[in-house]
Amino acid sequence: MLELLLCSLLTIFPDYLYRRYRQGKRLGHEITLYSVWFELRWGIISCLMLTVALITMIFYYHPSTNSATLFYRTVPIVPEITGRVAEVKVDISAPVKKGDVLFRLDSAKQEASLLTAKRKIAEIDAAMLAAQADIMKAEGQLQEAKGALQQATDELDTKRELQKRNPGIVPQRDIEKLEVAAAGRQGSLDAATASKQSAMTRLSALLPAEKASAEAALAEAQVDLDKTVIRAGVDGRVEQFALRSGDIVNPMIRSAGVLIPEGAGRRALLAGFGQIEAQVMKVGMVAEATCISKPWTVIPMVVTGVQDYIAAGQFRGGEQLVEAQQVVRPGTILVYMEPIFKGGLEGVTPGSSCIANAYTSNHELISSGKVGSFKSFGLHVVDATGIVHAMLLRIQALMLPIKTLVLSGH
């Protein structure tokens, strides 16, 4: 309607002035409801053509959309293990800080595993004390074996010396017995040495390795016990947290609730523009938005990102061919918009539906001097027509609460 009124001032109104003051035709006399088409046919046709061209140019170079939403990411509250809820620490809706306990699962099994791991470490510590005693025992046996071997060796040497000085004075049988006894004492010494070495190896290598394994099992048991206490991963707010003691939670099937991070939905507005605007939407374009949760307010924004892919065309590889007719609705170009001024989205509820406009600006191209006068004039006209969409957005912002509260019939 606004475009039609604007175009009528440039077409129908001059045509009427020509008819009135040049041809002397007056409203209600020569120009009536029945003759207005014949009398003002050139102005009416020109007005319709100019209106269609103007609307096309405005909607192409200054695109608008009603599909703009303040999306926000939620964090599901999911435990790492399956269990029964033993205690809930927060209410159904409450603010939380990072690290705050949300709820606790029944931990009887994990506590028993932790206690078993602790007892295993205590058992190994006791075995290490016993190994030290075994080393001391082996040292005593080693000294005893050395003394017995020394005694047998000395006695054998004495008998051999006597036999050497005075053959026949010592029976050969006694010497053989002493040789056998010395060999036995040497065997006892070797056994005592091996026993000491075994005890030392057990104390220095085997038991420390077993203790390290037990400590690893203790750490694992502690981790499993810690998993029964579910904490907030980020600062934010839990919503619809209807978990109660006795409920079963499963990380694969059922989550415990939803955590909304602090500041979620306060940064960017995501808007879906028609595919025809794919060549127009550019990063850096000035934009405006008005949201239903903050009526009568126009938020100045800037385009910070344009998604290169249209979501409606995606598919997953499978056993069936893609049928193009299954895409009933054409997809949109996803555009990221951020407020120009800090705190521009304050007061806008995350998830709110919005209306957004983006405006094409050719100021840099015109200022560069690389275009001719005619094209420069055309670009000026394109930029100037953005004011029409800006006015429409403000009218929509004014009428949006009235339309929602009064004309919707709710």
| Strand order across the beta sheet in which 229-231 lies | 229-231, 101-105, 83-88, 248-249
Rounded to an integer, what is the distance from CA 101 to the centroid of its chain?
21
> Is the distance from CB of 232 to CB of 102 less than 8 angstroms?
yes
Count the neighbouring beta carbons within 10 Å of the beta carbon of residue 117: 20
Are 302 and 286 contacting, i.e. CB atoms less than 8 angstroms apart? yes
- Cβ distance 16 to 35 under 8 Å? no
Note the residue count of the chain: 410
Q: Which of 163-177, 272-286, 306-320 has the lowest mean pLDDT?
A: 163-177
CATH code for 108-227?
Answer: 1.10.287
- Residue 101 tokens, joined: 């306990």
Mean confidence (pLDDT) of the chain: 83
Q: Does residue 410 register a pLDDT over 60?
A: no
Bridge partner residues of 290 (DSSP): 355
Cα Rg for the chain, rounded, in angstroms? Answer: 47
Structurally, at CATH architecture level, domain 65-72+265-312+330-403 sits in Beta Barrel (2.40)
The rounded distance, in Å, linking the Cα atoms of 124 and 212 is 10
Residue 345's SS3 state is coil
Q: Per-residue pLDDT for 160 more than 70? A: no
The pLDDT, as a whole number, for residue 3 is 66
Distance from C-alpha of 249 to C-alpha of 76, rounded to nearest angstrom: 12
Q: In the CATH scheme, what is the code of domain 75-103+229-261?
A: 2.40.50.100
Q: Domain boundaries in the chain?
A: 1-61, 65-72+265-312+330-403, 75-103+229-261, 108-227
pLDDT digits (tens, 9 = 90+) for 213-269: 888 988 998 988 888 898 898 899 998 888 888 888 888 777 778 898 988 888 899
Give the pLDDT confidence of 316-347 residue by residue, as tens digits: 777 778 888 777 778 899 999 999 998 888 88
Task: Give the mean model confidence (pLDDT) for residues 299-305.
Answer: 94
| CA angle 265–361–344, rounded 5-degree value | 25
